[in-house]
């Protein structure tokens, strides 16, 4: 494989010195970019875009051509895994994802298969290989998956949810069935992330979007335990380098210590806690990724720079910070504002790395 020209991301995730703080944006390949909307229109719909490795590669690279980002992230959707497990994923305009066959009883849980990573999810692995080839070592490629609990919420509800009525109903009433479902999903996710690493992903991130909707005890038993299982099962080295693992539970600020105990390399941090607080609590055990409020990008360039400066100051000097938004960039954001953000991170972070 080609030598990596910019390895700031991988170094920072392993708490090694860097010249400036690396930065990328969750959903950086997304609707806020006119070129993304054009490619998506060409693909026809969202799923055709995910399933076409050349177009998935095209949108993955678009933000890198605009901004001096320090990482690419695979363009895909977290629901590819349950789709490959047989649930029949489809999207409706304005309403988001749905499953034709939600998982709501014992028979449905027992019918779930572990997908074959090349037969059922080969389009994802092809996208990873294509992106790596086209990146040609510019920056590392991040692979990702949803967490088992997060995937299970969609699988049981049959789509998005505000109330979590069905999935929490199952969790409270039939905990053993919920555990069986999460076990199958965890095995699938472990295989999925390992296949992405084998195909060329140089770091992986687990998105636990809905772990923050749980009580502390349920979070540990129904979300964290399965992320732990995945971390234990992952290939942690490839191409002669460590493959860092990032865990991100949105709204998980109360549970950072327990997340750091999983032996992951880094924690994604949303904007509801300061990096200073997070760092004081997890010390040097893990790197931290975050955590500008995505809404700061609605502000004027001067205010964006100011807010970036505050986040950098909150982390302070030392290694182990990857700058990011605290959640995905919103579709309404002006692409120029995203550029101001990326430049501000590189420019304003330099003093924090002098002598490192």
**Catalytic residues, which ones?**
27, 31, 40, 77, 154
Residue 310 binding a second copy, by CB under 8 A:
yes
Hey, which residues between 214 and 233 contact a second copy (CB under 8 A)?
A: 214-218
Region near a second copy per CB under 8 A, out of 43-51, 108-116, 147-155, 292-300 = 292-300
204: left (phi over 0), alpha (psi -120 to 50) or beta: beta
Pair 137, 2: CB distance under 8 Å: yes
CB of 93 or CB of 119, closer to a second copy: 93
Is residue 26 at the binding interface for a second copy, with CB under 8 A as the rule? no
Task: Determine the size of the site formed for a second copy (CB under 8 A).
Answer: 33
Nearer to a second copy, 195 or 213 (CB): 213
* Smaller CB separation from a second copy, 44 or 216: 216
Indicate the SS3 state at residue 321.
strand
Only segment of 42-50, 90-98, 183-191, 208-216 that touches a second copy (CB under 8 A):
208-216
User: Should residue 277 be labelled a site residue for a second copy when binding is judged by CB under 8 A?
Assistant: yes
CA distance 129 to 140: 12
Residue 94 has phi, psi (to 5 degrees) of 80, -10
| Exposed / middle / buried, residue 107 (Cβ in 10 Å: 0-12, 13-18, 19+) | exposed
Pick the closest to residue 353 from 18, 32, 70, 66 (CA basis). 18
Shortest distance (Å) from residue 300 CB to a second copy:
6
Of 89-97, 106-114, 116-124, 298-306, the segment contacting a second copy by CB under 8 A is: 298-306
Residue tagged 């636990």 (tokens): 208
Name which of 351, 339, 340, 343 is nearest 315 in CA terms: 351
Q: Are 79 and 158 in contact (CB under 8 A)?
A: no
- Determine which residue in the list 86, 122, 212, 335 makes contact with a second copy, applying CB under 8 A: 212
Residues 161-180 that bind a second copy (CB under 8 A): 163-165, 168-169, 172-173
Residue 326 Cβ vs a second copy, minimum distance, rounded to whole Å: 8
């Amino acid at each position: 494989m080609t030598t990596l020209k910019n390895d700031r991301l991988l170094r920072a995730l392993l708490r090694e010195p860097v010249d400036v703080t690396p930065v990328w944006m969750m959903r950086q390949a997304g609707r806020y970019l006119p070129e993304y909307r054009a490619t998506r229109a060409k693909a026809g719909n969202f799923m055709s875009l995910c399933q076409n490795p050349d177009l998935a590669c095209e949108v993955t690279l678009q933000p890198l051509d605009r901004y001096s980002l320090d990482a690419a992230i695979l363009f895909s959707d977290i629901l590819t895994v349950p789709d490959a497990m047989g649930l029949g994923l489809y999207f409706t305009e304005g309403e988001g994802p749905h499953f034709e066959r939600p998982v709501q009883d014992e028979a449905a849980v027992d019918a779930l298969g572990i997908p074959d990573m090349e037969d059922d999810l080969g389009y994802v692995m092809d996208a990873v290989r294509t992106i790596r080839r086209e990146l040609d070592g510019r920056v590392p490629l991040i692979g990702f998956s949803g967490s088992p609990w997060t995937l299970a919420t969609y699988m049981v509800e049959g789509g998005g949810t505000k109330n979590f009525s069905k999935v929490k109903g199952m969790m409270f009433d039939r905990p053993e069935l919920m555990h069986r479902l999460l076990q199958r999903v965890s095995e699938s996710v472990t295989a999925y992330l390992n296949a992405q690493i084998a195909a060329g992903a140089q770091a992986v991130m687990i998105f636990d979007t809905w772990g923050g909707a749980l009580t502390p005890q349920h979070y540990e038993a129904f979300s964290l335990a399965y992320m732990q299982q995945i971390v234990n099962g992952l290939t942690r080295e490839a191409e002669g380098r460590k493959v860092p693992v990032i865990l991100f539970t949105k709204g998980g600020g109360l549970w950072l210590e327990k997340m750091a105990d999983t032996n992951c390399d880094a924690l994604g941090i949303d904007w509801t806690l300061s990096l200073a607080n997070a760092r004081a609590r997890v010390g040097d055990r893990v790197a931290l990724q975050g955590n500008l409020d995505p809404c700061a990008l609605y502000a004027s360039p001067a205010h964006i720079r100011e807010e970036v400066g505050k986040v950098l100051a909150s982390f302070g000097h030392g290694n182990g910070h990857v700058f990011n938004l605290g959640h995905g960039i919103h579709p309404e954001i002006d692409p120029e504002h995203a550029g101001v953000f990326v430049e501000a991170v590189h420019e304003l972070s330099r003093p924090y790395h002098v002598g490192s």
